[in-house]
Every structure is written in structure tokens, then in C-alpha cells.
């Protein structure tokens, strides 16, 4: 098969291309360019971020790896789509008092959406699209399923839960059965990188306020009874569960427990007040369930760095669910995604409201 591989210039995508080539496939490398020169953002020239002016270095690395592999390589401009879809959602969610996860939308709508579409429109033909994500995809009884990677420490299904049946039918995840140590070893053996190659971790290389482009607006920091404890210059500068940087003297540590965009208030409380046992979610996408209805015993993950916890999922309507956890969870954050699992199968997920 002819396989288009999304290459970031890092270890994982480089190994994905290598494994596919060694399996006998015709491999074509591609990198999506999302940093537009002249944009109003002032991202710092530091690595470990997907969106920033260091993109040129990543492209140079991806091109170098492609040359080592002897494969065709392309850079495709996806900046307009990225700004219109990912950054606009980022701004609107933050300004509404929610904390979005831009990587989820980038994957579903840009990396696995706009990028392969633009590639085909540019005359690049291919049979499948592959990336270096740690996940697995398989077909069972005619339905495409997303499953966790063998290496649970690196599993990235949380970021992929919005992929559609069409997208899943066209993707390959060569690293799904590998662990990170094996991938790093392959990179060193083939002379791609040394064993010290850094990984991309952050969404943006600068301060988030750059992306919001919001003028400061004075507001109050209050407790759960409405007592004013301090002041701030914009609720969008805070996130649920935040403890540092509040500027409030207190005998016990205070945490952000909610954001009121309408009144521009930041509500704080003590650690025990950050826990919640239930949530509602919308903007659902289903993978492992074709026609969800009723109640399910599941495991639910409310942040990418967390672990899936036992919960009861109840379908309330076409685009509304409730989740009740067996044990209270800390900092359930509106705007973040909740993803549902049964063992290693991704059932689907939605956005916490």
C-alpha cells in the first residue's frame, strides 16, 4: 500500500514511517504547517510545543528523517484551517469560562481531517494515513474500533476519541503495540536521533494570553459564599484546580473551583471543595457504541494525564449524557473532554459542560 505518514520531526512519527517502510509499504512523509509568518502571536523560540515559531526546526528534522529513509516528503499549509477551527474554539471557550483541549480538536479536524484532504487535493495519492500516536484501530463486524495502546503509559486514545468511522477506516497506528523504549531504541539504531531527543508536550510555545488577544478586565476573586477575597484582571487567566498565583493570603491553600464568565468572577475554595462525583457532557462522538441508549458501567477519563475511573454512564438524549463516578474526582473541568472506556475499548466521549 501507499501510506501517507504525518511527520512531526520527532521520535514517534519517524519510527512509524520506518516500521511501515520495513513492512514493505510505499511511504510518503508529510508535515502540516500551522504557524503563519506575520501572525499576531509572540510564541517563544523554545521546543516541546506543537504551535510556535520553532515549527521550521521541526520541518527540517522531518525532512532530514525522510531523506535518511529515502522517501518522498511534503509540507502542506494548514495554518488557515488551524486558526479558524482550533484557535477560534480555544478563544471562545476560554472567554466563556471553560478550559478547552485544543489537541483533541486539532487531531479530529486538522491532523486527521484537513491534512489528508489537502494532500489529496494537492495530487498526493495514498491508500492509508498513518501517525506516530500510541493507539490501535481494528475492524469488528464491520465497525471500526479504537483501542488503547499496549504501552498504557503512552496511550493517546484520549486525544483521538473524536475520530469518525470514516477517519478510523483510513488510519494506521504502527506504534500501537510498541512501548516508548522500543521506539527510542529504533531511532538510535537507525541514526535518526540520539537517545536524548525531547518530545513535544505543550500546545503553545508562548503565553496563552497571546492567543486570547483579550484586554484586561478587572474582576473579583470570591469564595463560595460570595465574599470578595481578592481581585484579578480576567477570569480567562485561571483554570479549575489552580492553586498557585492567586495572590490571596490564607491559612489553608485555596484552589480555583469555578469560573463565572458572566460576572467575571473567579470562585475559590479549599481542596475538598474541588471534588465532584458527577458531570454532564455534550458534543458527543461514539466509536465503540453505534446506537447508545440506557445505562452503562464504564471507566471514564476526565484529563489526558489521568487514569480512567469506574463510573456509570447514562444516555440522556441524542447529544447529552451524565456520568456518575464511584468515587469523587478532583477538578472536573468544563471544556475538557471526558472519554469513556470498557477495558481497552474506547466507547466514545464528549465535552464536559
Q: What top-level class would CATH report for the domain 275-352?
A: mainly beta
Residue 17 pLDDT grade (very low, low, confident, very high; cuts 50, 70, 90): very high
Residue 216 reports pLDDT greater than 70: yes
Calculate the alpha carbon distances from 48 to 11, 126, 131, 140, 155 in Å.
Answer: 12, 30, 18, 37, 18
Query: What's the pLDDT at 196?
Result: 65
| Domain limits, the chain | 2-204, 215-269, 275-352
Give the integer Cα–Cα distance in Å for 189 and 195: 10
- For strands 337-342 and 295-301, give the pairing: antiparallel
Query: What's the pLDDT at 135?
Result: 98
Residue with the larger pLDDT of the pair 46 and 56: 56
Q: What residues pair up with 278 in beta bridges, in sequence order?
A: 324
List the end-to-end C-alpha distance of the chain, in Å, as a whole number. 42
Residue-averaged pLDDT of the chain: 94
Give the integer Cα–Cα distance in Å for 69 and 90: 37
Q: CA triplet 240, 245, 247: central angle to 5 degrees?
A: 115
- For strands 219-222 and 228-232, give the pairing: antiparallel
Residue 74 reports pLDDT greater than 90: yes
Average pLDDT for 211-223: 94
Nearest CA to 349 among 279, 282, 278, 294? 282
Residue 201 reports pLDDT greater than 80: no
Query: What CATH number is given for 215-269 in this structure?
Result: 2.30.30.280
Residue 39 pLDDT grade (very low, low, confident, very high; cuts 50, 70, 90): confident
Residue 202 reports pLDDT greater than 80: no
Residue 116 reports pLDDT greater than 90: yes
The answer for residues whose C-beta is within 8 angstroms of residue 80's C-beta and 6 or more apart is 36
Give the integer Cα–Cα distance in Å for 193 and 21: 18
Average pLDDT for 308-313: 98
Residue with the larger pLDDT of the pair 249 and 309: 309
Average pLDDT for 217-234: 96
Q: Please state which architecture CATH assigns to domain 2-204.
A: 3-Layer(aba) Sandwich (3.40)
Query: What's the pLDDT at 46?
Result: 60
Residue 200 pLDDT grade (very low, low, confident, very high; cuts 50, 70, 90): low
Query: What's the pLDDT at 198?
Result: 63
Amino acid at each position: 500500500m501507499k501510506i501517507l505518514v504525518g511527520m512531526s520531526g520527532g521520535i514517534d512519527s519517524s519510527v512509524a514511517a520506518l516500521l511501515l517502510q520495513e513492512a514493505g509499504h510505499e511511504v510518503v512523509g508529510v508535515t502540516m504547517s500551522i504557524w503563519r509568518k506575520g501572525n499576531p502571536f509572540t510564541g517563544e523560540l523554545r521546543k516541546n510545543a506543537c504551535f510556535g515559531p520553532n515549527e521550521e526546526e521541526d520541518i527540517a528534522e522531518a525532512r532530514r528523517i525522510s531523506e535518511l529513509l529515502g522517501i518522498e516528503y511534503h509540507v502542506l499549509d494548514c495554518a488557515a484551517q488551524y486558526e479558524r477551527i482550533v484557535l477560534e474554539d480555544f478563544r471562545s471557550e476560554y472567554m466563556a469560562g471553560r478550559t478547552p483541549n485544543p489537541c483533541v480538536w486539532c487531531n479530529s479536524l486538522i491532523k486527521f481531517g484537513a491534512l489528508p484532504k489537502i494532500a489529496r487535493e494537492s495530487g498526493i495519492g495514498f491508500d492509508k494515513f498513518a501517525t506516530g500516536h500510541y493507539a490501535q484501530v481494528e475492524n469488528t463486524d464491520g465497525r471500526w474500533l479504537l483501542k488503547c495502546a499496549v504501552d498504557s503509559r503512552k496511550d493517546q486514545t484520549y486525544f483521538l476519541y473524536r475520530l469518525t468511522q470514516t477517519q478510523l477506516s483510513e488510519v494506521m497506528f504502527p506504534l500501537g503495540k510498541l512501548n516508548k523504549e522500543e521506539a527510542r531504541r529504533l531511532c538510535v539504531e537507525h541514526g535518526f536521533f540520539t537517545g536524548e531527543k525531547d518530545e513535544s508536550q505543550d500546545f503553545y510555545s508562548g503565553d496563552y494570553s497571546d492567543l486570547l488577544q483579550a484586554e484586561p478586565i478587572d474582576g473579583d476573586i470570591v469564595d463560595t459564599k460570595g465574599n470578595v477575597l481578592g481581585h484579578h484582571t480576567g477570569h480567562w487567566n485561571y483554570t479549575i484546580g489552580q492553586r498557585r498565583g492567586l495572590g490571596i493570603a490564607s491559612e489553608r491553600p485555596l484552589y480555583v473551583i469555578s469560573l463565572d464568565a458572566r460576572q467575571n468572577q473567579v470562585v475559590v475554595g479549599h481542596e475538598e471543595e474541588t471534588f465532584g462525583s458527577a458531570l454532564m457532557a455534550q458534543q458527543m462522538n461514539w466509536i465503540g457504541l453505534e446506537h447508545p441508549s440506557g445505562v452503562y458501567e464504564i471507566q471514564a477519563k476526565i484529563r489526558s494525564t489521568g487514569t480512567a475511573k469506574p463510573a456509570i454512564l447514562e444516555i440522556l438524549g441524542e447529544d447529552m449524557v451524565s456520568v456518575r463516578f464511584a468515587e469523587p474526582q478532583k477538578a472536573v473541568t468544563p471544556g475538557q473532554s471526558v472519554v469513556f472506556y470498557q477495558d481497552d475499548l474506547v466507547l466514545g466521549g464528549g465535552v464536559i459542560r
